[in-house]
Structure 1
């Protein structure tokens, strides 16, 4: 989406950022091949919680003087769906989450977001934070020449420590347990027995 915004002449530069180990360079190379201008790797082998991610991205956004931060709505590992909202809170910027459409108008950003009851449209002043929904656009594939060119582009590296950010864990996992398996159903002979079981055993009446 950031590349599309730039292609429409509504952005001057796209900077891709990732936080993680050296393996994260592969993701950044893909971003460069798809059209990002620069890439920044905040290198760490530690497990970074959502608040840590937000704090790191806050410092990067401030250093880069970003006008718009676009990120996924939730991580694929812990499924937290927190970093974008925390980043907006730390920066004091408006936010549009679960965006399925992003448009620029009169110096503002119009975000159509998906909510349980349908679609909600927000008008955000910039700078702003947007988290994306699956239906925002069709992902494009990088061409082979662009993939080869991306391998030659430098990736700026830094660390949380160099940025002055403390990413020490604030959470402790007490336990992880699978949900109980569903018990098999039973047959009853009369409606009276069914009502009695629903009332006394299932507790739904």
Structure 2
């Protein structure tokens, strides 16, 4: 394999308590800490490990989003990625951007850059769609390995261990392929200060969805975004008999 394309999404940081906008059109993003999607960090780490093992020669990070997405690309560059591509999509267009749009962009770039592997996180923690890898593979007509907890080089291509409801599934796939990273695949490294400084000199190419021939017109309309219902306070009962009578009162048992 020569090149790997890694998708990196800028999302609200996992430690931030998300707040819904008063008009219920979405969530508050202004003035809120953002960072790289944690599953994408795992995808970047795996690509860097592949390069360290000399399985790949170049890693390209792609982020689709507003100008601030370049910060996410810089984080990937500091982790060991060689160069970045920023596909600028902003404003209302970005708010209604769907996995299908991102998949079309990744598929087009994978062809343009002549990559052998597309590696993304299994899902983004903001929309939890878990669709991008699958649709990118379909658009490219490449084999896919999703929810990867282990990726190994084999004679024919790759051997992948993936997490399924019943346990672990092992599959073999040829390359080129599209893979999505699960939580147990690896532990992402922290970017060191020297690597952060080096990342500032690494190139980031800017482009747009239009330049790539991808139509990002919204296919959905957000009707309403609401907070989940607040949980009612519990009550402490003195004994089991009282608990049973309370449950009967509430209709939980007969």
TM-score by length of 2: 0.72
What CA distance in whole angstroms lies between the structure 2 residues aligned with 1:111 and 1:64?
24
Superposed, which structure 2 residues align to 1:31-110 within 5 Å? 31-45=76-90, 46-47=93-94, 48-110=97-159
Whether 2:54 is the aligned partner of 1:9: answer yes
What CA distance in whole angstroms lies between the structure 2 residues aligned with 1:43 and 1:182?
40
Whether 2:161 is the aligned partner of 1:112: answer yes
Rg comparison, structure with higher value: 1
Whether 2:222 is the aligned partner of 1:173: answer yes
**Residue-by-residue CA offset, 1:45-77 (whole Å, 9 max, x unaligned):** 032211111011111001011101110111121
What CA distance in whole angstroms lies between the structure 2 residues aligned with 1:178 and 1:163?
37
**Residue-by-residue CA offset, 1:14-34 (whole Å, 9 max, x unaligned):** 111111111111111111111
Structure 2: segments with no counterpart, 5+ residues:
1-45, 236-241
Query: Which residue among 56, 60, 71 is the counterpart of 1:26?
Result: 71
Q: Alpha carbon RMSD of aligned pairs, Å?
A: 2.2
What CA distance in whole angstroms lies between the structure 1 residues aligned with 2:226 and 2:245?
36
Q: What SS class does the counterpart of residue 58 from structure 2 fall into?
A: coil
> Aligned residue pairs: how many?
198
Structure 1: segments with no counterpart, 5+ residues:
none
What CA distance in whole angstroms lies between the structure 1 residues aligned with 2:194 and 2:228?
48
Q: What SS class does the counterpart of residue 113 from structure 1 fall into?
A: strand
Per the alignment, do residues 178 and 32 of structure 1 end up closer, same or farther by CA in structure 2, a change over 3 Å counting?
Answer: closer
What displacement does 1:179 show? 4.1
Superposed, which structure 2 residues align to 1:148-187 within 5 Å? 148-181=197-230, 187=243
Per the alignment, do residues 171 and 144 of structure 1 end up closer, same or farther by CA in structure 2, a change over 3 Å counting?
Answer: same
Q: Quote the residue 2:196 is aligned against.
A: 147
TM-score by length of 1: 0.88
Whether 2:183 is the aligned partner of 1:122: answer no
What CA distance in whole angstroms lies between the structure 2 residues aligned with 1:143 and 1:179?
39
What CA distance in whole angstroms lies between the structure 2 residues aligned with 1:59 and 1:135?
29
What CA distance in whole angstroms lies between the structure 2 residues aligned with 1:170 and 1:163?
19
What displacement does 1:175 show? 2.7
What CA distance in whole angstroms lies between the structure 2 residues aligned with 1:78 and 1:149?
32
Q: What SS class does the counterpart of residue 184 from structure 2 fall into?
A: helix
